[in-house]
Amino acid sequence: MRSLIIIFTLLLGYLPGIPTSSGTIACVRGQTTVPTDETRPLVLASASIFADMAEVIAGGLLRVQSIVPIGGDPHIYEPTPADVQLVSRADLVLINGLTFEGWMNELIANSGTRANTVIITQGIGSIASEEYANSSDPHAWMTAKNGQTYARNIRDALIALDPANQDVYTFNAGIYLQQLEDLDAEIFQQIESIPLEKRVLITSHDAFRYYGRHYGIRVEAALGTSTDAEVRTEDVNRLTRIIRETGVPAIFVESTINPKLIRQIATDNGLIIGGSLYADSLADPSLPAGTYLGMLRHNTQTIVAALRGEAVDSGDGMGPSAARQGGLLAIILAVMLGAFFYMVRQLNTGA
């Protein structure tokens, strides 16, 4: 299908950007335009997930960066002086809103930037927070359906920033929206393969409620929607009770959260950790979860395999293996013995 689109548009003499796994190729009538870094407007996104969306739709015509680095936790991120300078140079800032990045408003104010700030969750039916009054669960990007709303909002923001390339952004977004629609159907199909009584997703923090509500899977978590809360004894007891009632074969850790607690719960209940899920950050670009589409697909495949009993323990939170511990102990003893003999030799020399 994509080949037919390319051939057709080439015949017309006009080829807008074509989304690829690593971004898009942006073309204009008669020639490919490759702007230099110095001339491209700068688009900043608060987190890597939104930066990836923007990069796909921008097609290389804009510089796109994430403020929070890959692997960072946007809930508790502390901006640096370099971030202040970066925002001051921005032409557009994309934020999630819904109380996700509470530090963002202060960062923008301190930067003195004149960039337009766009909340990219506009039009999404948010889930009210169970922890805080008058606030919402910010993790709306966790379904491909909501991802389409993000994509439309980002497309419109890029067009407002750079109207001369409206056709490119519209074309790129159109293909991206179709990819998200296809992925949405794929996720539904995979979740339906899990036995109904096993459709229980237990994770580190409450980032999967949109996912669970949309795709039909019960979601429970040790922490609330923000990772800066303390785990309470009643939360651990609640998860233990749910595990025993449902008989789920696996629970899950998240890439930006220390796996120690989930490992302990798994050990205490004789479960495996089914894998590491991505919620607040993408994986390294070289990994399958290094893009937004890849992240949703990785999460679903990991969840389905583990809840169907087809996965082995991921090893997250286990610490060093016995062999590695033995090796470390041997190194420590060797260093101590070396230091001891050195001291003896020095004393004998002095005598």
Tell whether 56 and 124 lie within a shared domain.
yes
Tell whether 141 and 6 lie within a shared domain.
yes
257 domain-assigned: yes
* Residue 135, pLDDT score: 76
- Per-residue pLDDT tens, the chain, 351 aa: give them: 434 333 333 333 334 444 554 444 444 433 345 566 778 999 999 999 999 999 999 999 999 999 999 999 998 899 999 999 999 999 999 999 998 998 999 999 999 999 999 999 999 999 987 766 677 899 999 999 999 999 999 999 999 999 999 999 999 999 999 999 999 999 999 999 999 999 999 998 789 999 999 999 999 988 755 554 566 788 889 999 999 999 999 999 998 788 898 999 999 999 999 999 999 999 999 999 999 999 999 999 999 999 999 999 989 876 544 444 455 556 776 677 777 676 767 677 665
Domain that holds residue 290: 195-307
Tell whether 176 and 289 lie within a shared domain.
no
Tell whether 133 and 213 lie within a shared domain.
no
* Residue 13, pLDDT score: 39
Strands 18-20 and 23-25: antiparallel
313 domain-assigned: no
Tell whether 184 and 207 lie within a shared domain.
no
Tell whether 272 and 177 lie within a shared domain.
no
Tell whether 303 and 351 lie within a shared domain.
no
Cα distance between residue 332 and residue 298, in whole Å: 40
137 domain-assigned: yes
pTM over 0.85: no
Tell whether 171 and 199 lie within a shared domain.
no
Tell whether 130 and 262 lie within a shared domain.
no
315 domain-assigned: no
Please, how many CA atoms are within 13 Å of residue 163, restricted to the half-sphere of its CB? 1
Domain boundary among 150, 171, 188: 188
Cα distance between residue 105 and residue 87, in whole Å: 11
3-state helix vs strand vs coil in the chain, percent to 5: 50, 15, 40
330 domain-assigned: yes
Q: DSSP code of 28?
A: B
Question: Amino acid identity, residue 234?
Answer: E
69 domain-assigned: yes
Strands (DSSP E) contained in 206-316 are: 218-223, 250-254, 272-277
Q: DSSP code of 152?
A: H
161 domain-assigned: yes
* Residue 319, pLDDT score: 58
Indicate the number of domains in the chain: 3
* Residue 316, pLDDT score: 85
151 domain-assigned: yes
